[in-house]
A = this chain, B = another copy of it.
Amino acid sequence: MSDTNVQSGADRPVRKRRSDGERSRNAILREAAQLATVDGLNGLSIGRLAEAVGMSKSGLFAHFGSKQELQLATIEVAGAIFSEQVLEPALVAPTGFERLRLLTEGYLRYIEAANFPGGCFFASIAAEMDTHPGPVRDIAVGFMADWLALLERTIGEAQAEGDIDPDVEPAQLAFEIEAHLLLSNALFAISAEPTPIERARRALERRFGEVATAAA
């Protein structure tokens, strides 16, 4: 995925031409999100970010008053990229089962697009922040919970539409889906080769085939 696509993604919800100041802030935060998947959100200092984007520390302080403000703004930009690439293309599909398939396929493509050097931004910060209480941890952990809840809700919708076996427990199936996505992300971050993405795709196709009703 080119930087241009990511840019247009992060910008789309705003639907207006941004000022130079806003675009600059957005570019800084995209760089911060990259760095956070390598050195961690806690390793993200205004000094290191200043070096990466070629600005002065005082210039960056004008954008972000504190490390925590920088962390929260970085999460917001990474969330916009995730929405653009994973959520928005899936949630327009007319049936629950189609939305479920598109969410999982969208996530695998988002990994494959290598938006971040350390793999999925949210998997990365959830693994880092789980043991660091505070507002940043709550958002990192909340993102994973929201994603699982979205999968679970979508499975329930597909069941209500008669496409997924009603005996399947939605939270259990959501866990199984996310398991394959998370491991493909972890292995792709290590090797940058497509095998783990393909393995997740095959496992999910098999599992979707098992839970689909004859009608679906």
Contact = CB atoms under 8 A, between A and B. Distances in A.
A141 B192 CA distance: 13
A190 B40 contact: no
Interface string A154-196: 0000000000000000011001101110111011011000001
B118 A130 contact: yes
Contact of A186 (B37, B126, B199, B202): B126
A131 B40 CA distance: 11
A190 B144 contact: yes
A200 interface: yes
Nearest to A117: B131
A216 interface: no
Interface string A84-122: 000000000000000000000000000000000111000
Interface string A34-78: 000110101100000000000000000000000000000000000
Contact of A40 (B40, B119, B186): B40
Q: What secondary structure prevails in chain A residues at the interface with B?
A: helix
A11 interface: no
A127 interface: yes
Contact of A126 (B172, B179, B190, B203): B190
Given A37-B131, A127-B124, A141-B190, A199 B172 contact: yes
A172 B128 contact: no
5 shortest interchain CB distances as A-B pairs: A179-B179, A179-B183, A175-B199, A38-B131, A127-B127
